[in-house]
Structure formats: structure tokens, C-alpha cells
């Protein structure tokens, strides 16, 4: 059976019977929903799914590319141990005025370390600082034109037993629309094909939200 198409009422039911959202996360999501770029925020069920993945992994160190208003960073930080570390990278300082107060309200500010600037520069800096093979979980949700480079650098930064999650790999269906030839769509198509053929990793592409690719390095790489 193909994936069930969710109507609005069925999606509402899905959230009703499954979502256990921290009140501060809910407040941040509701504030973000008022913004013109609100569609950039991950779905709440995706945030909860990633929380579960972190618990299964016993994660202590997380890397995120793309912060926006900080919902996904906060969701992940909430399930890290008190001595956990979440490094989140973003280029736009405008969103900090929204994210940081919520991080502080949730008492997570000591875990979350935000790096401002181009994500590629931040990734190379982390490698130079000795973070190679240090992260338990890496979430990639930044500009799509650099997705291939983010993926390859993430493979250097992730622990052998860690997990990489890449968001928006279905790109609203544009990946199968031959009339869409913009740079972001082309890069996502290229990445999806590359991951599919990459013998170094085990993979699973989930139809959650806008498509979430899960990648784990094989033991011999």
C-alpha cells in the first residue's frame, strides 16, 4: 500500500493522538506561524520524531544546519542530557530575537550554541576544531544549493554509530516536476540520487512532512 494521503481532518487526528508537545515548543510554533516564512519551520510531529531518534541513539552531541526561529533546535535540546551540546548554524541573525527567549524559558540556553555565518564555513571550522566523528546526530535543513557539500562534510563529522537526517528532500513534489530547473531543486535531485547510490551508507527516506532522508554510515567506512 502506498502512503496514505492525509486530509486536514486526518492530520489533525494524527496530532491529537500522537503529539506530546512541550508548552514552550507550542508557544514558539504559534509565534512562528505568524511570520511570512512560517513554512520554513519543521512540522511538530517531525520534531517529536527526531526527539525519539535522539533518545534511541542516547545522543549527547547534535549539529543542526539551519536554525530559523529555533523550534527544531529547542525540540532536540529538550531531550539531550544536561551536559549535552547542540551546535546550530545559521546565516540570518534576525531570527535570534525570537529563538533565544524561548530557549531561555525552557532552560536550554546552556546546551545550545549558535554559530552565525555561512554553514559551510562553520562546518570546516568544526573539523579544524577537532569535531570530526564527534556528533551523534546531524540535522541538515539549511540552503538547498549546498546540500551535496553539507552531506559530505556531515559524513566526516558524524560518529560511526550516528545518524544524519536531511530535510525537504521531496521539496514539495518539485523533485519529480521536469519543469522545475532552479538551482535548489536540481541540487536536491542530485543529492537524492547520490545518496541512493552511495555504498558507504545505509538509508531510509521517510514521507514525513516534506521528506526526511535518514543516513547511517556502514561499519567499514
Contact predicate 25/71, CB 8 Å: yes
208 vs 221 pLDDT, higher one: 208
Residue in the block written with cell 561499519: 219
Write the pLDDT tens digit of every residue in 179-213.
999 999 999 999 999 999 999 999 999 999 999 99
- The DSSP H or E segment spanning 165 is strand 158-167
**Contact between 138 and 73 (Cβ < 8 Å):** no
* 3-42 tens-digit pLDDT: 778 899 999 999 999 999 999 999 999 999 999 988 889 9
Mapped onto helix, strand or coil, the DSSP state of residue 161 is strand
Give Cβ neighbours of residue 139 (< 8 Å, ≥ 6 apart): 50, 62, 63, 64, 65, 66, 72, 76, 165, 167
Cell numbers given for 213: 532522508
Structure confidence at residue 1 (pLDDT)? 56
Query: pLDDT tens, 64-120?
Result: 999 999 999 999 999 999 999 999 999 988 888 899 999 999 999 999 999 999 999
Contacting residues for 98 by C-beta, under 8 A, at least 6 apart = 28, 31, 32, 69, 70
Amino acid at each position: 500500500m502506498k502512503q496514505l494521503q492525509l486530509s486536514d481532518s486526518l492530520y489533525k487526528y494524527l496530532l491529537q493522538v500522537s503529539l506530546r508537545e512541550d508548552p514552550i515548543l507550542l508557544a514558539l510554533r504559534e509565534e512562528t506561524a505568524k511570520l511570512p516564512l512560517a513554512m520554513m519551520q519543521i512540522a511538530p510531529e517531525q520534531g517529536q520524531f527526531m526527539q525519539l531518534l535522539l533518545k534511541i541513539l542516547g545522543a549527547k552531541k547534535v549539529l543542526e544546519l539551519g536554525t530559523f526561529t529555533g523550534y527544531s533546535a529547542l525540540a532536540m535540546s529538550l531531550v539531550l542530557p544536561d551536559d549535552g551540546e547542540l551546535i546550530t548554524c545559521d546565516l540570518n541573525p534576525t531570527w535570534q530575537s525570537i529563538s533565544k527567549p524561548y530557549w531561555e524559558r525552557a532552560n536550554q540556553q546552556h546546551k545550545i550554541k549558535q554559530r552565525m555565518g555561512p554553514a559551510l564555513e562553520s562546518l570546516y571550522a568544526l573539523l579544524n576544531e577537532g569535531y570530526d566523528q564527534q556528533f551523534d546526530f546531524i540535522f541538515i535543513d539549511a540552503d538547498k544549493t549546498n546540500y551535496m557539500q553539507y552531506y559530505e562534510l556531515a559524513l566526516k563529522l558524524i560518529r560511526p554509530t550516528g545518524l544524519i537526517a536531511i530535510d525537504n528532500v521531496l521539496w514539495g513534489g518539485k523533485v519529480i516536476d521536469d519543469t522545475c530547473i532552479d538551482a535548489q531543486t536540481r541540487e536536491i535531485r542530485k543529492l537524492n540520487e547520490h545518496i541512493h547510490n552511495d555504498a558507504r551508507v545505509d538509508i531510509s527516506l521517510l514521507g514525513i512532512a516534506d521528506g526526511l532522508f535518514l543516513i547511517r554510515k556502514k561499519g567499514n567506512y
